[in-house]
Structure 1
Amino acid sequence: MQIAIMGAGAVGSYYGALLARAGHTVALIGRAAHVEAVQSKGLILETASGCETLEVTASQEVCALKDAELVLFCVKSTDTETAGASMASALSETAVVMSLQNGVDNADRLAEMLGREVIPVVVYAAVSMAGSGHVRHHGGGELALGSSDVGASLVALFQEAGMSATVADNVTDMLWTKLVINCAWNAVSAITQQPYGALMAIDGVRALVVAVMGECQIVAQACGVILPDDMERSTLAIAEVMSAQRSSTAQDLARARQSEIEHLNGFIVRQARCHGIETPINHTLLVLVRALEQGRHRCDLPSD
């Protein structure tokens, strides 16, 4: 199958690598440095089993999408509309589009831009970029797909590539569950630039994470979302199963890139406001990450 990865960062490159290893033709659309590295030496996939190099094509141009039968849309939530508009004319009429993004509403936003169905996907993978052209897998990799007419064939495709994939009737609730976990950990990891395991060893962090999660649960209930009964356990478990991992927000700030904080804690704050709910801890984390992002830009200014 001809498969394109739109926004080939860590998540997109990881799944692209697995699909290429399974024999599919994979095209990555990404940033210049990543594209140039892949073009010159292939895509390096590093897992617990070691490193391997996969043959894929790479481009900075959306025209690389034109022959794609399946598109994995992996851009940052902040870029959903811009990237969607740029790729609209390049898509085949029959291409299947899937959103593998953080946040709750990306598939709907992208579908509105494209005028076609976009399948929401919940991603449970800890991956990072070890360098341009080099993706590192830390754990996980499961995919939960929203319902669609092609759901069964997509699950088969991913399973044949060695991935765990299912179709979920409650994908919206699952997206919210992941959102709550991200809200509880991402900003704290970003502000401190610490991995989850080290954070849990700090006095008071556990209580902070639980408090953030509690605010999110109240907002989710107001939005009609059903979260798991073991939400606290699964949120705190991140510190064990991904102990050495820093959040994607932490990685963005470290690379002087705009984070997705507006679509994580920011989303909770906006939804809370619509329902007359106060979320002071989520709001504080949102403001602190905003301040770090703006401070980064000030540091880039030349001195007098």
Structure 2
Amino acid sequence: MHTVIFGAGAVGGYFGGKLARAGFPVTFLVRKRRFEQLKNRGLIISSFHGDFTINPHLVVESKEIENPELVILALKNYHLEEALPQLEVLISNGATILPLLNGVQHMDTLTDRFGEENILGGVCYIESTLNEEGNIVQTSPMHDIVFGSLREGQSEFTSKIVNMLKKSELNVLQTDNIISEMWKKFILLTTLSGITSATRQPIGVARNDLVTRALLVDFIHEIYQIAITHKVPLPEDTVERIIKKVEDLPPAMTSSMHRDLEKGLPIEVESLQGYVLELANKHEIQIPVSRAIYSLLHPFLNGTPQLQ
């Protein structure tokens, strides 16, 4: 299966690198600056599961790609809009999109424009970042992909994806309840990123402080209530399961939002905490914790603010 990795950052670069290393045909669709960086140095991955380097097949325009079958979309949410024309070309040439973006809001954007038949649902669990040289550093056992179809009739195609990911030594789970799985991840990620970014500390700090831990629990409850009101099919024990996941995280674990904040980069606050506020306003639900976290992070939306 010819896979296009749209974005060779910390997430897409890692998964694409694993696929290419296993011998599958992979094309990396990247921006010009990343193209030059990877062309000159190769894709260098330092991983909990073993270090490796590949010489990736790189393009900067989707029209250069022949016979794309699967597109793993691994961009920041704030880059999605500008990526839509490139995605349109890939879909017109036969590709199906597997988005691994943070959050859930992007699914409406993709399905409204391209139709459910061309989009899969997906989430990933991975702790990875780019270092100053542009190399990928993956630092925990997690390198998991959970995905599924939005409609029936794609079982043969999705089985091929499962087989490919397993042969690439990645953890993969195919599910018939992908929207539920995406929302579970959304609640976990939105609260984890919000609390680690607001405190400027890894999760262990918030977890070990009784006051901040109580705030985190309230944060989880707020987003769960919004999801239920929004008619997301979540099990009744969702909050307890997410709290258990937070408790089981390594104390030094943080979020990509926290890392981006420390680097002075733009953060995905609008597509995570901001989307929570959007739904809360729609359903007229009071969410004081979510609103406070969003307000604290909003000045850093476009990176470190410049004082005038």
Normalising to structure 1: TM-score of the pair? 0.89
Counterpart amino acid of residue 162 in structure 1 = E
Equivalence for 1:35: 35
1:33 is displaced (CA, Å) by: 4.6
- For residues 195-235 of structure 1, the C-alpha deviation after alignment (integer angstroms, 9 at most, x for no partner) is 22233233422111101001111111111223341533433
Equivalence for 1:296: 304
SS, match of residue 261 in structure 2? helix
> Is the 2:267–2:303 contact (alpha carbons within 8 Å) kept by the matching residues of 1?
no
Equivalence for 1:253: 261
**Counterpart check, 1:172 vs 2:173:** no
In the TM superposition, what are the counterparts of 1:185-264 in structure 2 within 5 Å?
185-228=192-235, 229-238=237-246, 240-264=248-272
> Is the 1:198–1:243 contact (alpha carbons within 8 Å) kept by the matching residues of 2?
yes
- For residues 142-161 of structure 1, the C-alpha deviation after alignment (integer angstroms, 9 at most, x for no partner) is 22212251211211111121
In the TM superposition, what are the counterparts of 1:123-202 in structure 2 within 5 Å?
123-137=124-138, 138-147=140-149, 149=154, 150-202=157-209
Equivalence for 1:74: 74
Distance 1:179 1:27 in 2: 28
Distance 1:252 1:49 in 2: 24
**Percent of aligned positions with the same letter in both sequences?**
27
- For residues 235-272 of structure 1, the C-alpha deviation after alignment (integer angstroms, 9 at most, x for no partner) is 35335434323211112222333221111111111111
> Is the 1:42–1:133 contact (alpha carbons within 8 Å) kept by the matching residues of 2?
no
Distance 2:288 2:83 in 1: 32
Distance 1:94 1:268 in 2: 34
Count of matched residue pairs: 300
SS, match of residue 285 in structure 2? coil
Unaligned runs of 5+ in 2: none
Distance 2:234 2:93 in 1: 36
Distance 2:257 2:64 in 1: 28
SS, match of residue 51 in structure 2? strand
Counterpart amino acid of residue 127 in structure 2 = A
1:77 is displaced (CA, Å) by: 1.8
Q: Check 1:108–1:155 CA distance in 2 against 1; reply closer, same or farther (3 A cut).
A: farther
Root-mean-square deviation (CA, aligned residues, Å) is 2.3
Equivalence for 1:57: 57
> Is the 1:68–1:92 contact (alpha carbons within 8 Å) kept by the matching residues of 2?
no
Q: Check 1:131–1:268 CA distance in 2 against 1; reply closer, same or farther (3 A cut).
A: same
Distance 1:295 1:79 in 2: 14
Normalising to structure 2: TM-score of the pair? 0.88
Unaligned runs of 5+ in 1: none
> Is the 2:277–2:290 contact (alpha carbons within 8 Å) kept by the matching residues of 1?
yes
Distance 1:298 1:262 in 2: 20
> Is the 1:34–1:132 contact (alpha carbons within 8 Å) kept by the matching residues of 2?
no
1:179 is displaced (CA, Å) by: 0.8
Counterpart amino acid of residue 304 in structure 2 = R
> Is the 1:265–1:286 contact (alpha carbons within 8 Å) kept by the matching residues of 2?
yes
